[in-house]
Structure 1
Amino acid sequence: MKIRVVTDSASDLPKQIASEEHLEILPILVYIDGKEYLDGVTIDSDTLYNAMKSGAEVKTAQIPLSHFIDKFREYAQSEAHYLYLAFSSALSGTYQTAVLAYESVKEEYPSFNMTIVDTKCVSLGLGILAIEVARMAEEGSSLEAILSYIEQTKSNMVHVFSVDDLEYLLRGGRVSRSQAIIGNILNIKPILHVQDGALVPFEKAKGKKKLLAKLYEYIKDHGGQLDRQVIGIAHTLNEEEALEVKRHFETVYGSNKFIINQLGCAVGAHCGPGMITIFFKSKVS
């Protein structure tokens, strides 16, 4: 049985890597001043972040039910088993909508088989998992083996984020107005991680130097065999800092496999320019 792997644009994978790994990417919706775009298709992240810096009103929305149904009907024409790795359900309704769409299409096409997984991951945490799963499928692994690997890996995938400007977290409701004003005046940078699929603030640092020191301490405390895994680093108009983090992994841990990309619209729209995000596993299978 052929297994085809699908994920969404919240995975933040470079298009070339997605193409090489035979991964289909479904776009999340992005709105700038009320105009609708498809993430990674009709808008890129540079355009989004420049609009945010200019004060535009930016929103995102899950993939609509109608989009899923149209796409799943297309998949139903194939004899392959489709495996959709969805953006964390704690951050988006995309997973639940995909399940509803599959149930609807399954009634029309009873032989259509699809497994939809709530990965509890986001950005390159999701992207790295999707690459590994796509490779397992290409090598002929069984669906049972793949699903077992996903369950094991998604609980080991570490996500850590820092935000440069609290104004964008204020817009997303993650900090209060007073916290945002005081934090920006004092140059306090929040640090967040993913906990059971949700993005949760857990630490803060004053200034970039102390921020990086805290990120490096977090990596040391939570990483496992960092020289034997792919490290994900995503940023928002902040490539210089991303490369600095890469050098830290190379120097301290001997890491030599990286995916570095600009954070896409799905997460970046809520965190803004100047963000740095790091993804790695606490354990290596």
Structure 2
Amino acid sequence: MNYKIVVDSCCDLPKEIAKDDHFSFAPLTLMVDDFSIIDDETFDQADFLKKVRESKNCPKSACPSPERYMNDFVGENLDVYVVTLSAELSGSYNSAQLGRNLYIEEGGTNNVHVFNSMSASCGEALIAMKVKELVEQGLAFDEVVAIAEEFTQHMKTYFVLESLETLRKNGRLTNLQAIIASALNIKPLMSAEGGKIVKLDQARGVNKALAKMIAMIKEKTVDCENKILAIAHCNCFERAEYVKSEISKLMKFKDIIIVDTAGVSSMYANEGGIIVTV
């Protein structure tokens, strides 16, 4: 049985894995004022971040259409696994589900399952990588789905942001909160719980916030020797390396990977943001 793993463009896979022919990317579209940017291989992170900084408005995104997803389900004897960013953050999951329903209604016979990552960025990547691992172990479609869904339920995503501007612009923070936080150099430690963004803690300065995040990962993570930890960064590779180094001193993971954020993840994380999923 052939297989395909379809991910939306919020999935920040390691480059060597993203080149695998079994992966297909469904790009979201980013909007900053009058600019429309396709989140694909042409995405220019530096130019996008510059546009976001210069705009008074919140950047927005538009998910792939159901038809775009549906096109990826066509093939002969194909098992299709779709991984989208959290349904609480985007319409990508619902669009993929609708594409699946349309495919079945039109007589499609391939197996198709859509995973709601309840995460984003490197969280999506870990799910997609898990699916690939299970398929290549020779497991049947239903077994892959069941194990990967359980994996998703137990996965944890944490993030620390350098800038609160995007949160301010999209209404998650009032102007007063954002001003006070900026003036006091307060950096929130946040998580994706049930797919929703929640604040776990805060600290004065990025390094202290990262230290709290690392301590929380150590406290909450079990069986790390058999797990991969993923770190995504928005234009701050040295910071990602620092997080990797500090975590490695405390815990022995099966592997720790670092990826750069593409368009959608850059929009959420903003410049200097760090996302960690395990």
TM-score (norm 1): 0.89
Instruction: Judge conservation of contact 2:218–2:250 (CA < 8 Å) in 1.
Output: no
1:45 touches 1:262 (CA, 8 Å); kept in 2?
no
CA distance in 1, matches of 2:207, 2:35: 38
- Asked if residue 88 in structure 1 is aligned to residue 89 in structure 2, the reply is no
Could you tell me how far apart the structure 2 residues matched to 1:111 and 1:172 are?
41
The equivalent residue for 2:63 is 62
Report the more deviating stretch, 88-97 or 182-191: 88-97
* Equivalence map 1:133-144=2 (5 Å): 133-144=131-142
Q: Look up the match of 1:13.
A: 13
| Contact 2:160–2:210 (CA under 8 A) maintained in structure 1 | no
After TM superposition, give the deviation of residue 266 of structure 1 in Å.
Answer: 1.5
Aligned to 2:217: 219
Which ranges of structure 1 fall in alignment gaps of 5 or more residues?
A: 281-285
Q: CA-to-partner distance for each residue in 1:55-76, whole Å, 9 max, x for gaps?
A: 375321111234234x24xx32
The answer (yes or no) to whether the contact 2:32–2:55 under 8 Å persists in 1 is no
Runs of 4+ in 1 over 6 A off after TM superposition: none
Query: Does residue 51 of structure 2 align to residue 48 of structure 1?
Result: no
Question: C-alpha displacement at 1:81, in angstroms?
Answer: 2.1
Distance (Å, rounded) in 2 between the aligned partners of 1:32 and 1:156: 35
Q: Deviations over 1:119-161 (max 9, x none)?
A: 3231111101101111211232111211111121111111001
> RMSD in angstroms over aligned alpha carbons?
2.0
Q: Which amino acid aligns with 2:28?
A: I
Distance 1:252 1:62, change over 3 A: same
Contact 2:160–2:206 (CA under 8 A) maintained in structure 1: no
Please state how far the C-alpha of 1:27 moved relative to its aligned partner.
Answer: 1.1
Q: Tell me what 2:238 maps to.
A: 240
Q: Is the 8 A contact 1:137 1:146 kept in 2?
A: yes
Q: How far 1:256 moved relative to its partner?
A: 5.8
Contact 1:186 1:206 in 2 (8 A): yes
Match of 2:3 in 1: 3
- Indicate the larger mover: 181-190 or 259-268: 259-268
Residue number in structure 1 paired with 2:38: 38
- 3-state DSSP of counterpart to 1:168: helix
CA contact (8 A) 1:91 1:197 kept: yes
> Percent sequence identity over matched residues?
26
Q: Is the 8 A contact 2:113 2:145 kept in 1?
A: no
- Please list the CA deviations of residues 178-211 of structure 1 after superposition, one character each: whole Å capped at 9, or x if unmatched: 1001000010001110110111122111112321
CA distance in 2, matches of 1:275, 1:107: 42
DSSP 3-state at the match of 1:115? strand
Distance 1:257 1:161, change over 3 A: same
Tell me: CA distance 1:148–1:112, structure 2 relative to 1, closer, same or farther (3 Å): closer
Q: Kindly provide the amino acid, as one letter, of the partner of residue 35 in structure 2.
A: K
SS in 1 for 2:188: strand
Per-residue CA shift, 1:84-127, capped at 9, x if unaligned?
A: 12221111111111121222232323434322222323111110
Alpha-carbon offset, residue 223 of structure 1: 1.3
Task: Give the distance between the partners of 2:111 and 2:269, measured in 1 at CA.
Answer: 36
Instruction: Give the whole-Å Cα distance in 1 for the aligned partners of 2:127 and 2:197.
Output: 18
The answer for unaligned runs of 5 or more in structure 2 is none
SS in 1 for 2:10: helix
SS at match of 1:131: helix
TM-score normalised over the length of structure 2: 0.91
The code of the aligned residue for 1:36 comes to S
Q: What is the deviation of 1:6?
A: 1.5
The 2-side partners of 1:267 and 1:201 are apart by 18
* Shift of residue 40, structure 1, vs aligned partner: 2.6
Q: 3-state SS of the aligned residue for 1:150?
A: helix
1:283: which partner in 2? none
